[in-house]
């Protein structure tokens, strides 16, 4: 899909892109190089990929997040829309504060917020798109829902369950395995496509294509 850098998306119910206001696409993760390859940081990986497609660079924002403003869709296309990509620079369990600040700054309703995050209860690389729902023990989602309510969209990237008796926290804070890394680029590229489709085409069409 084509994206362009710059500084308008699916309707409130997840329909095709319309003209009103930007979308806020949030990748969840923990800041700092020590976390960069962790399973818990796959939201950062996907939003980094979207930023590279747009052709811009993230910049620090007063909300305690890194942001990049741009557009999804072909240049000059009437079906394109404005997007703000964001990566909260708080730790995962405090993500709600920066995202709420961005929501207020850009005046984005919760129905135009998309969150990309890791999901334990889905096999590695499998995607599930949905609107609303619980947090399933995910501390980033827990913080977001406390701040925003549950009505945002989610692009859930499967990382699978930990082996044996490994604690969940240890598992998600470890890097993807060598075997997983061989396929990670393919799966994150597909996740980035799913984000664009959700924003441009609406939830139902994106689910049909990407809910594997």
Tens digit of each residue's pLDDT (9 = 90 or more) over 47-60: 999 999 999 999 99
Q: What percent of the chain has pLDDT over 90?
A: 84
**Which position among 40, 61, 117, 138 bears the catalytic label?**
40
Beta-carbon contacts of 206 under 8 Å, excluding residues fewer than 6 positions away, are 129, 194, 197, 198
**Of 8-12, 99-103, 125-129, where does mean pLDDT reach its minimum?**
8-12
State the pLDDT at residue 80. 81
Q: Is 61 a catalytic residue?
A: no
Q: What is the mean pLDDT of residues 169-184?
A: 97
For residue 87, how many other CB atoms are within 10 A of its CB? 25
pLDDT number for residue 128: 97
Give the pLDDT band (50/70/90) at residue 8.
Answer: very low
Q: Decide: 137 and 92 in contact? Cβ < 8 Å.
A: no
Please give the Cα distance from 97 to 93 (Å, whole number).
Answer: 10
Asked if residue 172 has pLDDT above 90, the reply is: yes
Model confidence pTM above 0.85: yes
What's the pLDDT score for residue 1?
61
């Amino acid at each position: 899909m084509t994206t362009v850098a710059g500084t308008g998306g699916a309707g409130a119910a997840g329909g095709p892109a319309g003209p009103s206001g930007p979308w806020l696409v949030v990748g969840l993760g923990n800041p700092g190089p020590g976390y960069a390859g962790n399973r818990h940081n796959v939201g950062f990986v996907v939003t980094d990929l979207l930023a590279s497609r747009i052709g811009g660079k993230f910049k620090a924002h007063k909300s305690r997040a890194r942001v990049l403003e741009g557009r999804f869709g072909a240049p000059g296309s009437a079906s394109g829309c404005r997007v703000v990509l964001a990566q909260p620079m708080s730790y995962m369990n405090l993500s709600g504060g920066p995202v709420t600040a961005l929501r207020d700054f850009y005046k984005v309703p919760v129905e135009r917020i998309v969150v990309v995050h890791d999901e334990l209860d889905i096999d590695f690389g499998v995607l599930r798109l949905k609107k609303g729902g619980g947090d399933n023990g995910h501390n980033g989602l827990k913080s977001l829902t406390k701040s925003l309510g549950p009505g945002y969209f989610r692009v859930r990237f499967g990382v699978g369950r930990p082996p044996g008796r490994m604690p969940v926290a240890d598992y998600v804070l470890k890097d993807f395995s060598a075997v997983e890394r061989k396929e990670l680029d393919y799966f994150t590229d597909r996740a980035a496509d799913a984000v664009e489709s959700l924003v441009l085409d609406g939830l139902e069409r994106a689910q049909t294509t990407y809910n594997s």
